[in-house]
Amino acid sequence: MTIAMPSASTKYVFGKPENPRRTVWFFLGPCVAYLIVFSIYPLFHSLRLSFTDLTAAGGTGNWVGLKNYADLLVDPLFWNAARNSAIMVTLAVALQVVLGVALAMFFNLHLRGSWIVRGILLLPMLIPPIVVGVMWRALLNPDWGLVDWIISRFGLTPPDWLGSVDMAIVTLVLVDSWQWTPFVFIIVFARLQALPQDVFEAANVDGAGSWVTFRRITLPMLMPAIVFASVFRAVDAFRSFDLIYGLSYGGPARGTTTLSFFAFQNGFQFQNYGYAAAVAYSMLIILAVGTTVILRYVHIRGPGQ
């Protein structure tokens, strides 16, 4: 009687001969199940909700087609939220890119002790946005806030940070930039460290000044990192909710109500679930179109081009 022995090349998984298909599903199965339950199903379920009139009061959930999307187009509150989102994304990303590139160029000078400052600079990124919002709301409190107290010590009148409609959106941009400028700095600084030094040596030999070198060589070579950081931050700022929730709760007079906060209000305050889902999918459409246009028409050029 001959007993077939496994060859030396046979692989075992948990003491049994390996089945490639079973092994693949063993490791990928939990990930696929997680994506289906927590990502794919909610995505399609919310899409279906956006075509219904489901509310907590009515509870009917009747199919209404594109009525929710049509109502959005004539809703002044929706357009106010869209305007606030556009202002926040534009101002915040522009400010963060300028400051991030400036910080990267400064720390590229390799000054003594700069590594300590770099470490401190990254701390705001580690704080959850909701905590950042609550913290800055306390710091900017007009009665006992530390920021207003410091400004008043210099004989100046502190601005109405969160009480003025025009100033509130500026305050939101400043707080968001305080937290996320270090992200842009990290991306740009890492790219700056990887640039070939022979290009700068050749420019120095040719007599190019610091400004010409930065404008014609450094900046074009940094553009891939700048574009990546800008798109990433634009998407993140566009869907920002927790910072607004902790800082201003959309006020005053809806001055900081963005699309994400508008969707939250309709879904969890007014309990108009179908309309809230339509707002969320409108955001998805705007993001998809915006990022596609940016990546399609923003051309990254190298030095000398």
Determine whether 303 is exposed, middle or buried from the number of CB atoms within 10 Å of its CB (0-12, 13-18, 19+): middle
Q: For the chain, give every domain's residue range.
A: 76-297
Cα distance between residue 107 and residue 114, in whole Å: 7
Across residues 237-254, what is the average pLDDT? 93
**The pTM of the whole model exceeds 0.95:** no
**What per-residue confidence (pLDDT) applies to 139?**
95
Cα distance between residue 257 and residue 255, in whole Å: 6
Q: What is the pLDDT of residues 146-197, one digit of tens each?
A: 999 999 999 999 999 999 998 999 999 999 999 999 999 999 999 998 888 8
Q: Of the given ranges (49-63, 69-83, 186-200), which has the lowest mean pLDDT? A: 49-63
Give the confidence band of 2 by pLDDT, cuts at 50, 70, 90: low
Q: Which CATH superfamily is domain 76-297 in?
A: MetI-like (1.10.3720.10)
Cα distance between residue 223 and residue 208, in whole Å: 20
**Peptide bond just before 252 cis, omega within 30 deg:** yes
Which residues have C-beta within 8 Å of that of residue 86, sequence separation ≥ 6? none
Mean pLDDT computed over every residue of the chain: 88
Q: What is the pLDDT of residues 79-100, one digit of tens each?
A: 999 999 999 999 999 999 999 9
Q: Of the given ranges (102-116, 139-153, 240-254), which has the lowest mean pLDDT? A: 102-116
On the question of pLDDT at 10 being above 80, the answer is: no
On the question of pLDDT at 26 being above 60, the answer is: yes
**What per-residue confidence (pLDDT) applies to 8?**
54
Cα angle 208, 213, 215 (rounded to 5 degrees) comes to 130
* Element counts in the chain: helices (H) and strands (E): 14, 2
**What per-residue confidence (pLDDT) applies to 134?**
95
Question: Which tokens belong to 59?
Answer: 């509870």
On the question of pLDDT at 205 being above 90, the answer is: no
Question: Which tokens belong to 27?
Answer: 């490791």
